[in-house]
Structure 1
């Protein structure tokens, strides 16, 4: 795969959201942005990931360079994340429409991460583990919440994303393993990947806005 994975998190006003999703039923259905039904095999693969959550899925070289190599289990987890993404045309159109409404110069209200051959959200999910990832709003990196929904989920998201000490060091190492063992992004900013999304969520809550996030490949 020579594509570049992108994850964008930004704020959106309730008015803009109502313009994109005019009916209350549509907004309620899209609010946490899950697929209409879990992909086939999702439950079994999620159970498998839970069973391996405490283990490293990458092998580190012993030649002194400290490079990471993806194991078959790492590739299996990558395939699981890929299978969780809804790539239907209407969903892709909604992603594009929402991203056009992100404020391009709002440093507090916009976060974007890109990596060659790797999806930044998948790296974050591997670092956080299954339980913390499932506590994040949305569905594996895709989020669409109005201001009320954002305020309701913020405390749980803060708990999942606020890492310190050894937990943060381990998460940064895991992000680096994913970005280099599966991707080709040795210069990624792991700290930004941990801190940037939460900054946007908090900014949205302070300013009375909703939040949207989407993963894409280019």
Structure 2
């Protein structure tokens, strides 16, 4: 049975970011500091993957293991997923309690895909050097307005390309988009600029919807 994943970046006032911080910052740090995750990151950094269309061609076990390691690295983290859905007496639900608090489309980037992870496609397309410039861990982050402004130049540098580079990036983004849908390269930097201009913080979360 397949999954449907979502990666969302939403802009909020600093008081909302402060409210969300106890829930999300510890689990994002736990994902970042997980030894297996660090090994996967280091392996990808040392040996970025080739053209995604070659990943499952042939019988190279080491190559297949590298692909699966990268997919595990960039899929939604279980700790973050658990925090998004609450449980027990905690009726927190990310759709209502985070995304539903941003009614302005300019303050939201949302990528929903069946059987794919948006962060995986973005990270493969831009490579580990640029991905390392993005705050947080593999698409998950929580930043107040000061941190958004401070990080904007790094995010712009990571997600800005000359024509040749952009062609190569688009070629390696394997996601399918509906007409007019924002892609994983343009959406994050657009909402980052919006938040910086409006004095807002940002919440980035990657998870399973079902």
- TM-score by shorter chain over 0.5: yes
Kept after mapping to 1: 8 A contact 2:55/2:67:
no
Q: Partner of 1:213 in structure 2?
A: 204
- What CA distance in whole angstroms lies between the structure 2 residues aligned with 1:51 and 1:137? 20
Kept after mapping to 2: 8 A contact 1:127/1:175:
yes
The alignment covers a number of residue pairs equal to 196
Q: Deviations over 1:107-129 (max 9, x none)?
A: 32111111110011111011111
SS of 1:118's equivalent in the other structure is coil
Q: Partner of 1:101 in structure 2?
A: 101
Q: Partner of 1:141 in structure 2?
A: 139
Q: Partner of 1:6 in structure 2?
A: 6
Following superposition, the deviation at residue 19 of structure 1 comes to 3.5
- What CA distance in whole angstroms lies between the structure 2 residues aligned with 1:130 and 1:171? 13
RMSD of aligned Cα (Å): 3.1
Q: Partner of 2:148 in structure 1?
A: 150
Unaligned residue ranges in structure 1 (runs of 5+): 62-70, 180-184
Q: Partner of 1:17 in structure 2?
A: 17
Q: Partner of 2:124 in structure 1?
A: 126
Unaligned residue ranges in structure 2 (runs of 5+): 57-62, 87-91
SS of 1:113's equivalent in the other structure is strand
Following superposition, the deviation at residue 186 of structure 1 comes to 6.9
TM-score by length of 1: 0.76
Q: Partner of 2:170 in structure 1?
A: 172
TM-score by length of 2: 0.79
- What CA distance in whole angstroms lies between the structure 1 residues aligned with 2:18 and 2:73? 32
Structure 1 residues 126 and 43: alpha-carbon distance in aligned structure 2, compared to 1, 3 A threshold:
same
Structure 1 residues 54 and 89: alpha-carbon distance in aligned structure 2, compared to 1, 3 A threshold:
closer
- What CA distance in whole angstroms lies between the structure 2 residues aligned with 1:197 and 1:98? 17
Kept after mapping to 1: 8 A contact 2:40/2:73:
yes
Which residue, 38, 50, 53 being the options, matches 1:55?
Answer: 50
Structure 1 residues 85 and 121: alpha-carbon distance in aligned structure 2, compared to 1, 3 A threshold:
farther
